[in-house]
Copies of this chain bind each other. A is one copy, B any other.
């Protein structure tokens, strides 16, 4: 791909360690995998983009207003997201200038890296962001977006995506996925079963959601009927290529209830008469049920835990959900997951991938759990932790306990389609740097490091996600 880069060293050695000896080893390791296919087993790219091969509207729509990493940082800087969205509607160039006026605030952030990298590597724009060249860059991006080779399907092929998972509602028809199976994309697009709004009594509209679920599957309004409905929808997803389910919870609390207790609790949460403790029990029991279903139907279970959603009620009321004020909280995987793991942790071929935003759990909880349970895999650094220094800390925190083969492989978890290559490239570079240090410090031999980096981007995610 043609480049117009800011400076040659950036492209060559970006994110590799500075020490010449380590950098040389890291560069060799990175070169082995730089062009390997992208496996993206969890993310949020709207399947419609690929199904309809939509033309991205404008630079602001693509890069600014729909990325809550970006809008939250602008919000923190005093930019009103609602005002910015309104501006973006009638004068996207003005909204783009706002981003560029604040670009120094993104220096050193994950979002800053991804956006700069996307512009340079995907769109081939060599000018820096910031007020000086804002208009030129805007025009350059807009020019690219008008071209057919920057539509989603063309980019999908160019990105070398082997597997891309979307995240979908259990009642989704999945027709888009079905259509894409024959689209000749050169890679697979699979749905992911995300049932939170049907399993968490605290979710908005929970009772109505369950009613729709029961109606759609013709199931009885009993706990057994409800479980059967969920199982049926999981099979629908499997039939459309799904390999995993995803669960987002504030705490990884699980509870293993007797059937009678579960039935009574189900009726209470449906009726809205359950108190907070009972809603928690139900939510926790449903994680155990989801694990049980995974044992039975083979779907990999991924758990994203430890985020308190919508911290600011006034902001939620103005901007809606996913507006950048979902904030991590301390997370207890060890006691929280124990009931689930007591029941299913040793089950053959059960895979449970744990994602955290509380990095204290890496060395204390997740690596020790994954170092024993064959079912438990260490999720790649996620959300706030999906950035070069945080990935380095992650590798350091988990490797000495669990090695390299109990991890999930990199997961981009993104809706920002344009940034997918930058994210995977970052992980490959940081992992190469980490391995290179171990080689240079005489801890592992170079051939072992080569095998590991190959596996980290290839066989490992394929094994963990059963591809």
Binding site for B on A (CB under 8 A): 6-7, 9-11, 13-19, 21-22, 72-73, 75-78, 104-110, 112-113, 128, 308, 311-315, 324-325, 327-330, 332, 334-335, 338, 341-342, 345-346, 357-360, 363-365, 367-374, 376, 384-385, 387-390, 393, 396, 399-406, 437-438, 440-445, 448, 451-452
**Given contacts A76-B373, A367-B384, A399 and B314 within 8 Å (CB-CB):** no
Say yes or no: B372 contacts A384, CB within 8 Å. no
Q: Which of B21, B76, B442 is in CB contact (< 8 Å) with A370?
A: B76
Say yes or no: A403 contacts B105, CB within 8 Å. yes
**Given contacts A14-B443, A15-B443, A108-B403, A311 and B327 within 8 Å (CB-CB):** no
**Given contacts A373-B312, A400-B110, A445 and B334 within 8 Å (CB-CB):** no
**Given contacts A332-B329, A364-B329, A374-B75, A441 and B15 within 8 Å (CB-CB):** yes
Within the assembled complex, what's the spacing in Å between the Cα atoms of A371 and B113? 16
Chain B residues near A10 (CB-CB < 8 A): 442
Say yes or no: B384 contacts A368, CB within 8 Å. yes
Say yes or no: B388 contacts A128, CB within 8 Å. no
Ranked nearest first, the 4 interchain pairs of A and B with the lowest CB-CB distance are: A387-B400, A14-B442, A10-B442, A108-B399
Chain B residues near A314 (CB-CB < 8 A): 342, 345-346
Say yes or no: A312 contacts B334, CB within 8 Å. no
Say yes or no: B365 contacts A359, CB within 8 Å. no
Say yes or no: B108 contacts A445, CB within 8 Å. no
Chain B residues near A445 (CB-CB < 8 A): 6-7, 128
Q: How far is the CB of A338 from chain B (nearest CB, A)?
A: 6
User: What residue in chain B is nearest A6 (Cβ atoms)?
Assistant: B445
Within the assembled complex, what's the spacing in Å between the Cα atoms of A327 and B448? 28
Say yes or no: B402 contacts A76, CB within 8 Å. yes
Say yes or no: B388 contacts A327, CB within 8 Å. no
29 residue pairs A–B, Cβ–Cβ below 8 Å:
A13-B441, A72-B372, A73-B403, A75-B374, A76-B402, A76-B406, A105-B406, A106-B403, A107-B403, A107-B404, A107-B448, A108-B403, A109-B399, A308-B334, A308-B335, A311-B334, A311-B372, A312-B346, A325-B372, A328-B334, A328-B364, A357-B364, A358-B360, A358-B364, A359-B360, A360-B360, A368-B384, A388-B400, A393-B396
Q: How far is the CB of A3 from chain B (nearest CB, A)?
A: 14
Within the assembled complex, what's the spacing in Å between the Cα atoms of A337 and B69? 22
**Given contacts A311-B338, A365-B327, A442-B9, A405 and B371 within 8 Å (CB-CB):** no
Within the assembled complex, what's the spacing in Å between the Cα atoms of A359 and B363? 8
User: What residue in chain B is nearest A386 (Cβ atoms)?
Assistant: B400
Say yes or no: B373 contacts A364, CB within 8 Å. no
Chain B residues near A112 (CB-CB < 8 A): 403, 444
**Given contacts A342-B313, A364-B328, A15 and B442 within 8 Å (CB-CB):** yes
Say yes or no: A443 contacts B19, CB within 8 Å. no
Q: Which of A7, A14, A17, A400 has the most CB of B within 10 A?
A: A400
Beyond contacts A109-B399, A128-B445, A325-B372: 20 other A-B pairs, Cβ-Cβ < 8 A, are A7-B445, A18-B437, A76-B376, A76-B402, A76-B406, A107-B452, A108-B400, A108-B404, A109-B401, A112-B403, A311-B338, A312-B342, A327-B369, A329-B332, A360-B360, A363-B384, A368-B384, A384-B400, A384-B401, A388-B443
User: What residue in chain B is nearest A318 (Cβ atoms)?
Assistant: B346
